[in-house]
Structure 1
Amino acid sequence: IMTLDLGARFWINYFRMVGGISGVDEMVVRISDGSRDSNGSLKWREMYRQTGSAPNSTPWSGVSLGTSESGFERLEQVRYLNSQIYTSQAGRAGGYNTGDRIREVQLFGEGYPSEVTLISPMIELPGSVILGRIEWEADLPDSERVDVQIRTRTGDRLVEIVEYYCNGGDLKTETDYNNLPTSFKGPVVNRLQPGGGWSSWSQRYTRSGQIVTSPSPRRFLQIQARLLSTSPDVAASLRSIAVEFLPPVAHRTVAEIWPNTVEPREMSEFALYLKPTFVEHQPGGPPSRRFDEILLDAEPIETLAIADVALGREEDLDRGQPRRLFSASSADVLIDAATGDSLKIFSTDTGTGLRLLLPEKVALQAAGDDTRTYYRVVTEEGEQVPVDGDGRILNELTYLGLPPEEQGDILYFALRGRDADGNPIAEAVEEFAYHSLADSLQGEIRYFRRLVGKGGEFPFDQQGNPLTQAAYNALPRSQQGSIAAAGELVRVRFHASVLLNGTTVDAAIRDSAFPDTYQQVDPGDATALTPGTALSISVPLSNRVVQGVAIAPNPFTPNGDGTNDQAHIRFALGNLNAERTIQVRIFDLAGHSVWSERRQGFGEQVFTWDGRGDDGQLVPPGAYLCKIDADVDAASASHTSKTHLIGVAY
């Protein structure tokens, strides 16, 4: 079996194999354009079959076809070529001379490649940076037939792969390579590839200038560019790619919202908590700039009404005594009564969110081991840490879910008393000794993950204990990583009406002095004051689509006097997360259509009728039927149509 990867996808219409091809055995040639089936295997198509039509020939008889060649009916897109040889002679199967000696494969085609994938080396980033915009310059001579797709991924660790080759190009193990005579040894190749914890390739960026969506800050960045063409006559060309590096405003910020379950369409009060940590020190890099702007986007919620914004330590907020409290003064300004400082509120360009501008940057909490996190740089491959790839402490279940090569040590601890501050004193013991202890003397069981690759930093010593300032200072300088400081807890209270189950309040932060890029906030456990850990809001599930219909004024008087001249038809579409066709129609009591309006939308809706028919003339006074229809294709949906009476008077 021979499989060739051409490295790109070409337009091919002829192939030739040159060598000692006997014609005794059957040979099948297949091609693949690189597409794969549901199991991840390449999809192949047979393009040529040699039937073994020279029965009197043998590979050693001197009778040989020499070459096998064939043309295709049309140009084919080919990335992989596979040839497989079969024999019907039982005595030859598996024999030393079975099969043909192929010395050369020749492929012929025309035009430009139909796909070329370019992948950058691992780009080491300059310290802790946020990835801003990604921009590129490309030529697309025909956008209907050619395309450029750009993707990114990021990570912290690399694995060094060492490959040993003999002088014939075959890959050898290190042991086999070392046993070869010197004249038989080929090159030794060192390659770097992503280690554990790398993100997947991002979704393609649809236009130059978009913000990089791969996680940051990270230590390494990799860029993928795919140049595609559906015709051999044209091709895209890529001239340059540039990525913007920005200093991060925070090391990381997590947020949660409470309550996370409310009744649909009821005005509810929510508290959004943001817990930032800032880089106070990092080797070779600047500290975090910190932030004074918060962006909230809660689509499809149409209106967020901010009640107040508080900043301080968690215990201060719990006592109702935050360091700063900004209360509502107007729709777009909150005032700190103690200082007179104002917090300004701006609508976003999308119309579905708010931008909060604080009068000062969020502050760091006072220094202490409980407000500082000290990181140790991993310098050796195979070191172990007590957390998973997302930084969560391992337990038995998550440990067993690790790949076997990442399952590290398990440490058992016995309780030996308490120190002067009342904290338990633990001592590492063997597993058998641990299980022999009384339950009251059994301490924690600590699970470790073996790291794949070098790089990254973790807030633990080699025994899995959280680093203290003293332990950090005792590390070799090469292992002293960043120091992260806890920022003040931020609480934003607001009122909103939620209609869609799973509505998420997205949050981002930035330094107003650098307005180009926001840093995304991650959902997580931001405070012990509430049990939430997410930014999504649930409402009880219902199949009702058209909800909460209200018509006002009803009746109305479209006589042009400026009072009650229009009827506002308000309703909401529930359990839809994409736009649907909505139609409001007015009928007279005889069933004749008088007026209609159609639009795309979801969530809260308002239609306005001025009492005129579709012909532009005022309708006669009387009672009319207002019918609301939503075009929903879900079979389980109900109440997709509502009808109400509406009165017209003069």
Structure 2
Amino acid sequence: MARSQCLCQPGRERLLYRGVNGMRIGICVAVLVLSGLVANAAAELRLLSIPGNSTWSDVKQRSVSENTFIELIDLESYEDGIGPIAPARMVPVPEISLALTSDETDAAIDSTLFAFSLNVTRADVVALTDAEREDGTIVEEGTVLIPRWSPFPRSLEAVQLLRRAGITEIEAMINVAESFPRPPGGDKYNKSLNLTALGRFERALTGIRLQEGLGRVFDGDPLTHFERIDRLGEDVTQQWILYVDLGHYFPIRLFRLYPSLEEPVRVSSYTLLRGLPGTETVIAGLSLEDPITGPLAFPRFDRIGDTFPTFIPEASVPVNVEDTIAVVFKPLAQMRYARFDFQTPLDYDLAEMEFFADGFMPEAVYTSNALPLPPATLGRIFWDEEKIGDPTKSRAIVRVRTGFTTEPDVLFRINYYDREVEWKEGASLIDRRLGSATQGQVVHLDSSEFNIEAREVFSAALPEDRQPIRLTREDYIGLPVSVRRRIEPDLEFWSSVQTADKGELVNAPSGRPFIQVEVEFLSQSPEAATVIRNMRLEYSAPQITDQVLGEIGPAVDVIAGRDTSFVLALKASIGPENNGFNRLQVFTPARTEEIVGMEADLGDGQVQVLSPIGIDEGEAGGGQFQELYIADDQFVVGFPTIGPAGDGQARDALVKVRFRGRVINFHTNFFANAFLDTLDADVERHYTRNGILAVGEGALDTLAFFLPQEVEDSDVVDFGATDQLSDRNTLAVIADVSAQSEDLVSNFKAEPNPFTPNGDGINDEMTVLFDVQRLLTPKPVRLEIFDLNGRRLRLIERQLLSGGYSQQWDGRADGGQIVPPGLYVLRISAEADDAGSAQTRIVSVAY
């Protein structure tokens, strides 16, 4: 049993202790005042929360880039929260004496003014108060001093005017080309992004010299430059093409290119092109060695990605007379790929090529470290959201995965023989390949002797032998960039990533020692963003079982829409640290007609058939089971707790539940949960997909919340041998739908008929039963009551998917009045393209 911290009321004691990773883990213990509760009812529901004793920054996964770069996630601006960055920063206006004159400036002041002038405004800079210019004229409050998207001033007089006008800081856009990290495996000479130069360069400018020259164009330092100037005996190439990959899409407002400040020689003719988002296509390869692409350039054409977009021109100037090339994008351009064509045979010089972003990132992802947990049953996940701008233009997607190791990814490197491997340098393993010459011997994976066979040796090793020698994140960061290769999710020791819904159960395997959280922020507008705050994850430890596996039979050749006898088989592995389980919740596509029986084998080979008892006969005792709850979509059975063996040892228990129900669709997945319910029978319970909610009579809040342990589908029994049923080793059933009618509604009936809504507690309501077929998305299904004159008295409309449903009618019209005794027409219909005709039944109301 678990108790929710978020449901604590004043007067209850809240205990906090630090978990092994410094995260906040909370326990909420309530004093239960109802009589008859068992002694161990005050169990706890623990919470792992971010932020708690640790911040979002503390538990963020470390980047593999060694360079300074823009963090795509804003870890500072939102209290207790995170969101996508808007690439901008506040730049203080230099505090220079207002009495200083140009003749009195020194090198330090000039350097300060120069650094200040490299920034670009994000919005108009307006005077906050009246200010006097040097010539005595007055600049009135509200006057625009620097237009938006313009360079900051460099002159002493202009900076002093800013101070006089009350401006102490200015919001500046950020050049994301200089700041963004190169992807793993990027060229070591690229400071910040992937560059590809398509052109035949002079023989003296080969390889690393070319890359170093291009690096100076993206280093954020206007004093470094890349010359394209012919000198005596040194002819250089002026006409060429430069491709730029920023690594992510940014909302770009301004592109800027300018020459060296010392001897400015401008580009006299150019075309700027932008890669269109959504047009990226897979490319065969961009290298000299690629047999399809061929030798595109000399000395080399660096691969910049697996895909390449379609480029469209944004600016083309055949005769350029400006030193600084500036292209403003109105509206903003979502840009990752850019192409710049140098179309002149004349000399020029390149100091900086800049891409300034403006607004929230269209996509940004926060990824946590592997956060440690005790072996636990995972519960619900919660977080708070704040919307900035239009709330329909942004969203956040939360995902989780669980695993057994501290590194959730597989990291690869290139070894001495140019092979991509994921093990550490110098790693060794015992060769477990059957029949190999070195079977049973220790093999050094990087040895030249095993260059060809190293992958086979590694793959044949036991998982517990492979895991310790795999590269860690720290190992990977310590490698030269030139030998780093791809990073991909670890699907051997970790689960796949699962999307989490706020307030719902975490759909990832429980019982694993680590969990990782990922938050993806998506914005359709640069003015809109979503902020995530205060993430809380419920869990209950220890688990009630180590694992519960299940399968259902028959699993094929079931007639859709017809009641069928099913057997659900479970195998529960229960260790000495587990408490066991006594409830089974099974989710079904339609209301179950009957729980036929249960049987259990507690690991001794003796099958015990359990006898049914009524819900009013108290808790099920030894050799008994009871039907606790049946609804349209589920049933719950209770039985004596199945725990560890009497000597405290682990055991595997086999349980079978036999029931009659029906499937509707061609493919149906059954779901099941195991629980340990430790409260007395007289406590009211609500059975939900998230767990069992226990409330007391007259109580204002929840008394207890039991987290489910999900049943995983697997091979449990041989149904063909034990029950003569078709077997697929899964919880999925494949049905024969050939006999289904063309109507979307089938199995339509009403009972009791007649019924007597007179308030005596006997047959006061009629239950309408029906199945809905072939609806994969919710559609309106209408129930209507008409008198014999065709006048509609009652309308009930529900949005439904395929499944079996029931609906009560209490004999009242839409106005709330009881209809007179007599005959009425009950009509059901579905609003869909292939709905077919409506169905009707005559029903009788009597007193």
Partner of 2:585: 296
Pairwise CA RMSD: 4.8
Matched, 1:83 2:248: no
Structure 1 residues 505 and 563 mapped into 2: Cα distance closer, same or farther (>3 Å)? closer
Matched, 1:17 2:273: no
The answer (yes or no) to whether the contact 1:333–1:342 under 8 Å persists in 2 is no
Partner of 1:630: 830
Q: Distance in 2 between matches of 1:219 and 1:642?
A: 54
The answer (yes or no) to whether the contact 2:755–2:764 under 8 Å persists in 1 is yes
Structure 1 gap ranges (5+): 55-63, 165-173, 175-185, 281-286, 368-483
Q: Distance in 1 between matches of 2:616 and 2:777?
A: 30
Partner of 1:517: 707
1:9 Cα deviation from its structure 2 partner: 5.1
Amino acid of the structure 1 residue aligned with 2:586: D
1:489 Cα deviation from its structure 2 partner: 0.8
Matched, 1:188 2:477: no
Q: Distance in 1 between matches of 2:666 and 2:544?
A: 32
Amino acid of the structure 2 residue aligned with 1:117: V
> 1:526-581 deviations in whole A, cap 9, x for unaligned?
11244341223344311343333445666789999999898765543344455433
Q: Distance in 2 between matches of 1:356 and 1:565?
A: 27
> 1:76-105 deviations in whole A, cap 9, x for unaligned?
344x14124376x9xx9xxxx9x9865422
The answer (yes or no) to whether the contact 1:153–1:199 under 8 Å persists in 2 is yes
Matched, 1:533 2:729: yes
Given the alignment, which residue of 334, 352, 360 partners 2:633? 352
The 5-angstrom pairing of residues 187-336 of structure 1 reads 188=480, 194-197=489-492, 198-203=494-499, 205-207=500-502, 209-218=503-512, 220-233=514-527, 235-238=529-532, 241=535, 243=537, 246-260=541-555, 261-278=557-574, 289=578, 291-303=580-592, 305-312=594-601, 316=605, 321-322=606-607, 324-331=608-615
> 1:449-495 deviations in whole A, cap 9, x for unaligned?
xxxxxxxxxxxxxxxxxxxxxxxxxxxxxxxxxxx965111111223
Q: Distance in 2 between matches of 1:642 and 1:235?
A: 48
Q: Distance in 2 between matches of 1:134 and 1:521?
A: 19
> Secondary structure in 1 aligned to 2:640?
coil
Amino acid of the structure 2 residue aligned with 1:487: D
Matched, 1:597 2:837: no
Structure 1 residues 86 and 104 mapped into 2: Cα distance closer, same or farther (>3 Å)? closer
Matched, 1:46 2:312: yes
The answer (yes or no) to whether the contact 2:622–2:640 under 8 Å persists in 1 is no
TM-score (norm 2): 0.46
Partner of 1:460: none
Partner of 1:573: 772
Partner of 2:839: 642
Given the alignment, which residue of 272, 289, 292 partners 1:28? 272
Partner of 2:367: 119
Structure 1 residues 582 and 210 mapped into 2: Cα distance closer, same or farther (>3 Å)? closer
Partner of 1:547: 746
Structure 1 residues 335 and 556 mapped into 2: Cα distance closer, same or farther (>3 Å)? closer
The answer (yes or no) to whether the contact 2:551–2:714 under 8 Å persists in 1 is yes
Identity of aligned residues (%): 24
The answer (yes or no) to whether the contact 2:257–2:324 under 8 Å persists in 1 is yes
> Secondary structure in 2 aligned to 1:211?
coil
Q: Distance in 2 between matches of 1:101 and 1:163?
A: 37
1:342 Cα deviation from its structure 2 partner: 4.9
Amino acid of the structure 2 residue aligned with 1:301: A
Partner of 1:108: 356
Structure 1 residues 117 and 575 mapped into 2: Cα distance closer, same or farther (>3 Å)? closer
Amino acid of the structure 2 residue aligned with 1:28: L
Q: Distance in 1 between matches of 2:601 and 2:565?
A: 21
> Secondary structure in 1 aligned to 2:641?
coil
Partner of 2:288: none
Partner of 1:435: none
Structure 1 residues 151 and 497 mapped into 2: Cα distance closer, same or farther (>3 Å)? closer
1:343 Cα deviation from its structure 2 partner: 4.2
Greater share of strand residues, 1 or 2? 1
Q: Which has the higher contact order (CA 8 A, sep 6+)?
A: 1
The answer (yes or no) to whether the contact 1:326–1:335 under 8 Å persists in 2 is no
Structure 1 residues 529 and 84 mapped into 2: Cα distance closer, same or farther (>3 Å)? same
Partner of 1:508: 673
Amino acid of the structure 1 residue aligned with 2:325: S
Range moving further from structure 2, 209-218 or 640-649: 640-649
TM-score (norm 1): 0.58
The answer (yes or no) to whether the contact 2:613–2:625 under 8 Å persists in 1 is no
Q: Distance in 1 between matches of 2:791 and 2:411?
A: 74
1:70 Cα deviation from its structure 2 partner: 0.8
Aligned length: 472
Structure 1 residues 618 and 49 mapped into 2: Cα distance closer, same or farther (>3 Å)? closer
Structure 1 residues 290 and 239 mapped into 2: Cα distance closer, same or farther (>3 Å)? same
Partner of 2:432: none
Q: Distance in 1 between matches of 2:327 and 2:672?
A: 60
The answer (yes or no) to whether the contact 1:305–1:331 under 8 Å persists in 2 is no
Structure 1 residues 53 and 293 mapped into 2: Cα distance closer, same or farther (>3 Å)? farther
Structure 1 residues 129 and 546 mapped into 2: Cα distance closer, same or farther (>3 Å)? closer
Q: Distance in 2 between matches of 1:618 and 1:561?
A: 16
Structure 2 gap ranges (5+): 1-195, 197-241, 283-305, 416-424, 426-477, 679-703, 721-726
Amino acid of the structure 2 residue aligned with 1:83: R
The answer (yes or no) to whether the contact 1:146–1:228 under 8 Å persists in 2 is yes
The answer (yes or no) to whether the contact 2:249–2:361 under 8 Å persists in 1 is yes
Partner of 2:396: 148
Structure 1 residues 309 and 116 mapped into 2: Cα distance closer, same or farther (>3 Å)? same
1:522 Cα deviation from its structure 2 partner: 1.4
Q: Distance in 2 between matches of 1:36 and 1:249?
A: 51
The answer (yes or no) to whether the contact 1:314–1:527 under 8 Å persists in 2 is no
Given the alignment, which residue of 322, 325, 328 partners 1:71? 328
1:523 Cα deviation from its structure 2 partner: 1.4
Partner of 1:478: none
Structure 1 residues 46 and 501 mapped into 2: Cα distance closer, same or farther (>3 Å)? same
Amino acid of the structure 2 residue aligned with 1:297: V
Q: Distance in 2 between matches of 1:522 and 1:353?
A: 17
Q: Distance in 2 between matches of 1:596 and 1:65?
A: 77
Matched, 1:495 2:665: no
Structure 1 residues 111 and 564 mapped into 2: Cα distance closer, same or farther (>3 Å)? closer
